Amino acid sequence: MAQQKTTEIDTTKKTKKDTTKNVVVPGDSTKSDTMQVSPAPTIPMKTEEMLEDKFISSPTEYNVTNKILLPLNRKKTKYAYFDASQSIDRVIPNSAFKVGEKLTFIIRYGVVKAGTSTMALPEIVYKNGYECFKIQTEARSSKFFSAFFKVRDQVISYMDRDGLYTWGFEKHLREGKFRANQYVSYDHINGWAVTNKKDSLRIPPCVQDILTTFYYIRTQTLEVGKSLFVDNHADNKLYPLEVKVHKKERIKVKAGTFDCIVVEPILRASGIFKSKGRLLVWVTDDSRKIPVQMKSKIIIGYITAELREMEGFVEK
């Protein structure tokens, strides 16, 4: 593991807004590095309206006590606060999922079927000497879309069985003529994420990747009007995420009719990176929090993932 010289930062006095240039304080609207965000209006009931830019969700004020200031990228051009209180020895109670669970989704672009995707927990494996859930996702374009843009993507994550944080991540993209492979190793003992065996970035304790974030949220209590805060790493960047719980709603998808909770992941500090569009996720309103629908607005229309089939899930 490559070691880098770091400077210890005293986080015991971080009780006021940090106005230093290139430091992003969650909830702060300092002109230099954050954009002005008006308070979000009352969330409308129609999904399409919820996804409109004018209803953008503003970050919640964030208490930086017991937090650590870390660079968001390898160039160290921006910083944000992350949770320093977690321990890799933590045990997160889990009654939401188990080995053998497999969820299959239909992906639609508007009303047109664009492809299918799966999310599965096929087995328990060892990573860095720790027992881990292997999380495996695959996305395939439909026969129609494959004729002009074939997609065969696979993403794999290794999530600590007890602590539900990441020890390893793989991404294998096959999109048209584009090919890319990425491997990330997480050293929680020394606090590093190493991408493709060369790019190192400091990480907070128990950081999540994009897949473990999702499964970790499924084990947590979701209360309308409140938020969960998760520290995330992806593509050589740290992302302080806030997951807002918007409302409850009953929806019908291919897999059936479900009482759901609607949640939205957003950046905890505005102005860190350019937004690539909002995402709403419907999870079952029970202890399992099975995702049954995901919807995101794009330049023209919406991309929707709708649950078609579920196997090996925990019974209520």
Tokens coding 165: 């944080």
User: Which parts of 178-290 are beta strand (E)?
Assistant: 178-187, 192-195, 199-202, 227-234, 237-253, 256-267, 279-284
pLDDT bucket at 275, cuts 50 / 70 / 90: very low
| pLDDT exceeds cutoff 60 at 139 | yes
Burial class (CB in 10 A: 0-12, 13-18, 19+), 42: exposed
**Residues of the chain above pLDDT 70, percent:** 78
Helices (H), the chain: 47-50, 143-146, 210-218
**Averaged pLDDT, 33-38:** 37
**What is the pLDDT at residue 11?**
39
The angle subtended at Cα 206 by Cα 184 and Cα 70, nearest 5°, is 80
- What is the Cα–Cα distance from 33 to 38, expressed in whole angstroms? 16
**What is the pLDDT at residue 268?**
59
| pLDDT exceeds cutoff 60 at 153 | yes
- What is the Cα–Cα distance from 305 to 114, expressed in whole angstroms? 10
pLDDT bucket at 52, cuts 50 / 70 / 90: low
Q: Which of 7-16, 105-114, 226-235, 256-265 has the lowest mean pLDDT?
A: 7-16
Chain centre to alpha carbon of residue 79: 19
- What is the Cα–Cα distance from 163 to 191, expressed in whole angstroms? 16
Give the three-class secondary structure for 252: strand
**What is the pLDDT at residue 21?**
43
Q: What is the pTM of this model?
A: 0.82
| Mean pLDDT value across the chain | 84
Tokens coding 34: 């954050």
pLDDT bucket at 271, cuts 50 / 70 / 90: very low
Q: Radius of gyration over alpha carbons of the chain, in Å?
A: 20
Kindly state the DSSP code that residue 68 receives in the 8-state scheme: E
- The tens digit of pLDDT for each residue in 154-205 reads 999 999 999 999 999 999 999 999 999 999 999 999 999 999 999 999 999 9
Do residues 27 and 266 touch, judged by C-beta distance below 8 A? no
The angle subtended at Cα 206 by Cα 204 and Cα 210, nearest 5°, is 95
Among 170, 182, 181, 189, CA closest to 1: 189
**What is the pLDDT at residue 46?**
63
pLDDT bucket at 110, cuts 50 / 70 / 90: confident
- The tens digit of pLDDT for each residue in 230-264 reads 999 999 999 989 999 999 999 999 999 999 999 99
